[in-house]
A and B are shown apart, each in its own frame.
Chain A
Amino acid sequence: MTQLAEPQRQHGYVRRFSRTERVLHWVNAAGFFLLLATGLILYLPALAATVGRRPLVKDVHFWGGVGWVAALALVCLLGDRRGLLRTAWELESFSEQDVNWLLRRRPRRAGRFNAGQKLNAALTAAFVVLFFVSGLLLWLGERDTRFRFASTVILHDGLLYASLVLLAGHLYLAVVHPATRHALRGMVLGDVREDWARQHHPRWHAPD
């Protein structure tokens, strides 16, 4: 299971995501939704009034956030590190055609990831870091004035809105949009249809 970035043909399907990549994705998603749910209870007056138990929800939110980042780190450490590094390299590399993809010019054939997916990955990773740092500062600031900044809460809330926009686009393309939603199979089971890969990611899975 080491060369999973390499297309492997089996019964018309080709491997797109390794087990490590999929676990990392779903751990990230699960953590995000736990923190979104508890965060909205803390943030929205109507929900706050209905649910109550703010100190408990706060603890779940904070320790959930710590657990989220720890779980992500653990998956990276215990999983296929070389594969992840390779994927990170793929994600951050923008070829001429990736730039064309963003500018809606041709040729714009995508590799294993298209330019939108690469941007999504970079922003998601940055948001995890910023959510974690600002959340930690909110928690520390409640205990020590040296960590108290008037703008921390604005950063944390702003990230919520930015990540919801990103998530809405991500969910639309992964679940709703007919042309792209087959990608969800790749993130669940690991493999995608060969003809789909050829059509949408031709520089990764090139026509024979």
Chain B
Amino acid sequence: MDRDSEPGAGREPAAGDQPPPRRVGRGVFLATVAGGLSSLYWGQAAWSHLSRALGGVEAAVPLVPRGGWRIYTVAATMPTFAPATWRLRIGGLVHESQELSYDELRALPQTSQVSDFHCVTGWTVHGVHWRGVRFRDLLARARPRPEARALEFVSAEQPYVDYLTLDQAELPGVLLAWEMDGRPLAREHGAPVRVVIPEMYGYKNVKWVAEINLVSRAGTGYWERLGYDRDAWVGRSNGYGS
């Protein structure tokens, strides 16, 4: 811009001893944009260090979802849990199909673990306490047939579905969980039960599990149909770490 040609611009008094104005605004704009874009490379590491160093800083900031959770859903409404009538169905390639009530499920051998929860979109919740049942114990009474190789998790949130191979379901820390951080699983976290597999991204951790079917091979889950990896290893899938 040639300021002399614009009579309306910058009506500074004609004081000859004043230095010309500097374009600070442009600098602030460009520096902010550049800083923001560069954070695509350092943002996650910086935030991770900060939240670890300050310990629970999320809880102190207003608005931040408790513990850093974000709630992702695919249907119009979240499923509601009615303890009296709720049943978990176990079927498919099994010798004996099962229908477990909430109480029967919690009477199974329990285990607990603490792990970090990673979302494929980049956020992480550190040190989540989970309690639930390991799949070996859950499936014992149904007795999977020899040809069964994978588990199909059908969510009460239609049409969400996802799969784990039986080998993946036997990894350490893998649970069907009904308790999170010492409390019954909250509705937005998948009440009453969800899959927990710490080594994989959140979309494999199916919420509101209503039905588990033994199948001969892992199918294509909800997000996998939209291009996400079937084996969602944290840091080694979905374009990360490659």
A binds B: yes
Residues of A within 8 A of B (CB): 3-6, 40, 42-45, 48-49, 52-56, 82-83, 85-86, 89-96, 98-99, 111-112, 118-119, 121-123, 125-127, 129-130, 133-134, 137-138, 141-146, 148-155, 158-159, 161, 203-204, 206
**Could you list some 29 contacts between A and B, CB below 8 A?**
A3-B7, A6-B7, A40-B63, A44-B63, A45-B66, A89-B1, A89-B10, A90-B9, A93-B23, A94-B21, A94-B23, A118-B24, A122-B26, A122-B32, A123-B29, A126-B33, A127-B32, A130-B37, A133-B36, A143-B226, A148-B239, A150-B44, A151-B42, A151-B47, A152-B122, A153-B122, A153-B123, A154-B47, A155-B40
Q: With a CB–CB cut-off of 8 A, which chain B residues contact A98? A: 21, 24
Q: Which one, B12-20, B98-106, B109-117, is touching chain A? A: B12-20
Contact B240 A130 (CB under 8 A): no
B168 to A: closest C-beta gap in Å = 21
A118-B25, A145-B227 are contacts. A138–B121 as well, Cβ < 8 Å? yes
Complex CA–CA separation, A52 to B79 (angstroms): 10
Contact A43 B32 (CB under 8 A): no
Across the interface, A154 reaches (CB within 8 A) one of B7, B120, B122, B240, namely B122
Contact B122 A149 (CB under 8 A): yes
Report the nearest A residue to B238, measured CB to CB. A145
Q: With a CB–CB cut-off of 8 A, which chain A residues contact B30? A: 126
Report the nearest B residue to A118, measured CB to CB. B25
Most-contacted residue by chain B among A44, A91, A99, A149 (CB, 10 A): A149
A49-B187, A127-B32, A204-B11 are contacts. A94–B25 as well, Cβ < 8 Å? yes
Q: Which 3 A-B pairs have the closest CB atoms?
A: A145-B239, A92-B25, A151-B43
Complex CA–CA separation, A5 to B8 (angstroms): 6
14 more CB-based (< 8 A) A-B contacts, given A48-B73, A92-B23, A123-B28: A45-B69, A52-B73, A52-B76, A89-B10, A92-B24, A96-B18, A119-B28, A126-B30, A129-B33, A133-B36, A143-B226, A145-B227, A151-B44, A152-B122
A169 to B: closest C-beta gap in Å = 16
Contact A96 B19 (CB under 8 A): yes
User: In the complex, which residues 43-64 of chain B have their Cβ closer than 8 Å to any Cβ of chain A?
Assistant: 43-44, 47, 61, 63
